Structure 1
Amino acid sequence: MTLRLLCVLLLLITALLPRPGVAQELPRRVFVGIDLQGINDSIQRRYHLPDQNGILVRGVRPRSSAQAAGLLPNDIILQLGNAQVGSNVGEFIGQLKRYQVGDKVPFQLLRNGRKIRKRVAFTAYPKDNSPFYDVQYGSVTYGPNQLRTIITRPKSSSRAKVPLVLFIQGVGCFSVDNPLSRADATNRILDSLSRHGYATMRIDKTGMGDSQGTPCLESDLRTEAGGYKAGLAAIRRLPFVDQQNVFITGFSIGGVMAPLVAQGENLRGVVVYGTVSRTFIEYLLENKRNQCQLQGLPYDSINSLMRTYSAALHLLLQEKQTPAQVLARYPAARRLLTFPQHYTYMQQWQDLNLPALWQRLDTPVLALRGAADYISYSVDHQLIADAVNRAHPGRASFVLLPDVDHHFNRARDLAEALRMDERPNPEKNFEFMRVILNWLDEKQKA
């Protein structure tokens, strides 16, 4: 083999190899289009069911696979393909994720007391679109996970290169790719940024949306943070991004992720909203007592609950015991140790020294909290500003926002915010975006 031919072959092989952190194209997830609910006692009685296995169809989305196949609200899904359906909605969603666009799958349903079968041809989930931005779907890899990235580029900007905001969402297993609901809070934030000339990137957690890899409920905090770091690396390769003006916004636990993801990065600024900066145990104990008092529980009952909770949290988060080990000693803590992600995720949160991470950041920081937020506390946001400013004077500020809660609902105080959670469509207050946009504009580097 000649040297020239060998070089050509090596170039071809190199071109075919995936670049580190860059994944091959991710397939679009299927658009089943059903709103689900597990079978509880009242549903079991209403439909005269022998047990609680099955999933109730609460609603069917227009133009979805389910609508095309003839599924209806109040159908009960008993079997998916050859598999019986249990009572756990999360497990059922996991069953659905095994299928791809184009698959035709039989559903066994219970409708009006009679078993019927429907064949569902799975179509692709619609892609995001907006009058304010163009959308680019991509992906990044971190460890065993291939994560969906959604990049938006503002249509209104006349600049060749535009600033970009990496959006980091809150805790829990859900998708930030929801094109069917423009009123979704994430979409409204992205629209605001786009109208103001900012590109954005959001990243779906592993196992959520189109993302593939470790199921979200089994993943941990460090792995999730690594996915956002991979997203920042991908941002550096975008030719239309002004690399001197890249920002992070972190909402809720996104504000815990933000200083971890920002380490070693050349960022123009970081904005956090409704977050935590103390140890996780400190936060959980205050939050549990505060919410119990808002719910009107007797003070002696709260005291007893807190004794159990603090002991159980110490074993789980500090001693690194498993939930099963903790519950063997404190069985009354079962309802207290329910977290939206894996317990190792929470243990890693406890291990973070968040003030140390913040004070290492030599970048502008804005900490925001809604005055009606009963999930986060001003002390955490002031601590962020103090930690940054002690190391880098004048770089950080804390702003308390009136009439808004953790979920961007319009509320005057903590008690009203708690009641808002029970309303189907509470009024939103997005004035916080005006504060964020003004701050981003001010911090941009010309």
Structure 2
Amino acid sequence: MNMRYFLAAACTLLAGLAVGQELPRRAFVGINLRGINDSIQQRHRLPNQQGILVTGVREASSARAAGLLPNDVVVKVGTQPVQDVPQFVGMLKQFKTGDQSTFTLLRNGKTVRRKVAFKPYPPEVSPFYDVAYSAVRFGPNTLRTIVTKPTGNPAQKHPMVLFIQGVSCHSVDNPLAPGNTEQRIIDSLSRHGYATMRVEKTGMGDSQGTPCAESDFHMEAGGYKAGLAAIRQMPWVDQDNIFLTGFSIGGIMAPLVAEGQPIKGIVSWGTASRTFIEYLLHNKRNQSTLQGMPLDQVNAQQQLYAAVLHLLLTEKQTPEQVLAKYPNAKDLLRFPQHYTYMQQWQDANLAAAWKRLNTRVLVLRGAADFVSYNEDQQLIVDVVNREHPGQATFQLMPDVDHGFTRARTMQESMQLAGVPNTEKNFEFMSVIVRWLDDVRKQKA
């Protein structure tokens, strides 16, 4: 681990295991919106395409209380003109619960001003389990934690699952979207008697500190370690039955988070275990082939990609330095996180991390997943079982892809990518819950 983050965390970890409501709830604006295009400009007779169109207003939101209506066009927040959706969303992030601002609107051709008092984002609730909002600290960041605890006997100790999410910068606190994939996973675990913890990434949701897009691999792993440390302080948690579930890059983080901890078991979904460069080259060839690129062009692309990745990930050059030598490689340098995050991923010896563990492991992958590959899943199983025979298993799940969309093949999954409201396949959750139950019955 990067020593700068380790030392910073060591100084704050005991004080920051649970900082509770010191971390305020983020502001709940509560509007659905769209950018202004030619047709919207013409339909609403707007003077230009600056601003955002309100397409809906949510109940009990700040916008509803302020009197915003569908078809309003927000052209100014305070004294700052609104240019487009990304800029508007960025402007809203500066506001906290209790703040106020004036929204200038165009409504039926007239200028209207409404004072918006920002209400807190609503909490997650369920009739089947309790939900508690707290926080942990790691380095410069204060990270929101969301803990679910099954209702029932208050004296009962509950098994716990630390949920580790995928690579992108998004919130895992979405009470207004109970049907989203992460919420359905948490709901399923909680209904089956498992407590859960989610740790928001820095800068996402209520979390404060380094913007997520500027964070790195070690910082993110440290946040999950802080969450695990907080779990160790919860008297109602069955400390002999703590599990980790890692989805996508969460499966890469899981063995690093678990290192040195008595974890009962780890579940990974659609992850990687080879070096990052090996994985990227495999992934680029597979996806380019699925997209119909001629095979000679695939080879030429792979040659360029290998050279670019060596400079960026092995030689630790910046993207600007790489593009100075390979100006036609811009499209090959698009990553879901900061380039330093990717460099640190390349440096991680994931096989060594799995080798150091002594815990049971379930490795899952969807057969239609064009983002992860059997080779990586089998490597995890082989590494674990060579050290501790029989402790790891790999199961390929039919008719599901990386993001839990129901699809039979990689090709079909790729065709469905970006299609709204695709059918999901959550049969894998039955496999996970059954495995968790079985492992709990086994002796250490």
TM-score (norm 1): 0.89
Q: In structure 1, how many angstroms separate the alpha carbons of the residues matched to 2:199 and 2:369?
A: 25
Worse-matched range after superposition: 61-70 or 122-131: 61-70
Candidates 180, 183, 208, aligned match of 1:187:
183
Change (3 A) 1:117 1:21: same
Q: Which amino acid aligns with 2:254?
A: A
Is the Cα–Cα contact under 8 Å of residues 156 and 195 in structure 1 kept in the other structure? no
Residue deviations 1:415-443 (CA, integer Å, cap 9, x gap): 11122223211111111011101111111
Q: In structure 1, how many angstroms separate the alpha carbons of the residues matched to 2:357 and 2:394?
A: 16
Candidates 209, 221, 230, aligned match of 2:226:
230
Q: In structure 1, how many angstroms separate the alpha carbons of the residues matched to 2:100 and 2:45?
A: 30
Match of 1:212 in 2: 208
Match of 1:27 in 2: 24
The yes-or-no answer on 1:444 pairing with 2:440 is yes
Worse-matched range after superposition: 267-276 or 19-28: 19-28
Q: Which amino acid aligns with 1:204?
A: E
Worse-matched range after superposition: 300-309 or 165-174: 300-309
Change (3 A) 1:298 1:118: farther
Match of 2:9 in 1: none
Q: Where do residues 294-443 of structure 1 align in structure 2 (5 Å cutoff)?
A: 294-443=290-439
Candidates 73, 78, 83, aligned match of 2:75:
78
Worse-matched range after superposition: 70-79 or 257-266: 70-79
Task: Give the paired residue count.
Answer: 429
Q: Which amino acid aligns with 1:364?
A: R
Task: Compute the displacement of 1:62 (Å).
Answer: 2.9
Match of 2:5 in 1: none
Worse-matched range after superposition: 283-292 or 378-387: 283-292
Candidates 235, 260, 263, aligned match of 1:239:
235
Is the Cα–Cα contact under 8 Å of residues 21 and 142 in structure 1 kept in the other structure? no
The yes-or-no answer on 1:134 pairing with 2:125 is no
Match of 2:146 in 1: 150
**Equivalent pairs: percent with the same residue?**
63
Candidates 285, 289, 293, aligned match of 1:293:
289
Q: Which runs of 5+ in 2 are unaligned?
A: 1-12
Q: Where do residues 7-46 of structure 1 align in structure 2 (5 Å cutoff)?
A: 19-23=15-19, 25-37=22-34
Q: In structure 1, how many angstroms separate the alpha carbons of the residues matched to 2:418 and 2:125?
A: 31
Is the Cα–Cα contact under 8 Å of residues 272 and 368 in structure 1 kept in the other structure? yes
Task: Compute the displacement of 1:68 (Å).
Answer: 2.8
Q: In structure 2, how many angstroms separate the alpha carbons of the residues matched to 1:46 and 1:386?
A: 61
Worse-matched range after superposition: 37-46 or 239-248: 37-46
Residue deviations 1:105-137 (CA, integer Å, cap 9, x gap): 112334566554332221110001112210111
Candidates 66, 69, 75, aligned match of 1:69:
66
Q: Which amino acid aligns with 2:62?
A: S
The yes-or-no answer on 1:196 pairing with 2:192 is yes
Task: Compute the displacement of 1:39 (Å).
Answer: 5.6
Residue deviations 1:271-325 (CA, integer Å, cap 9, x gap): 0001111111111122122122222233343333333332222221111111222
Say what the alpha-carbon RMSD is for the aligned residues: 2.4
Task: Compute the displacement of 1:37 (Å).
Answer: 4.7
Match of 2:4 in 1: none
Q: Which amino acid aligns with 2:104?
A: Q
Task: Compute the displacement of 1:225 (Å).
Answer: 0.6
Q: Secondary structure at the match of 1:163?
A: strand
Candidates 253, 258, 262, aligned match of 1:262:
258
Change (3 A) 1:205 1:290: same
Match of 1:95 in 2: 91
Change (3 A) 1:356 1:209: same
Q: In structure 2, how many angstroms separate the alpha carbons of the residues matched to 1:38 and 1:317?
A: 37
Task: Compute the displacement of 1:23 (Å).
Answer: 3.0
Q: Secondary structure at the match of 2:132?
A: strand
TM-score (norm 2): 0.90
Is the Cα–Cα contact under 8 Å of residues 367 and 399 in structure 1 kept in the other structure? yes
Q: Which amino acid aligns with 1:69?
A: A
Task: Compute the displacement of 1:181 (Å).
Answer: 1.5
Q: Which runs of 5+ in 1 are unaligned?
A: 1-16
Task: Compute the displacement of 1:158 (Å).
Answer: 8.1
Q: Which amino acid aligns with 1:60?
A: V
Is the Cα–Cα contact under 8 Å of residues 308 and 332 in structure 1 kept in the other structure? no
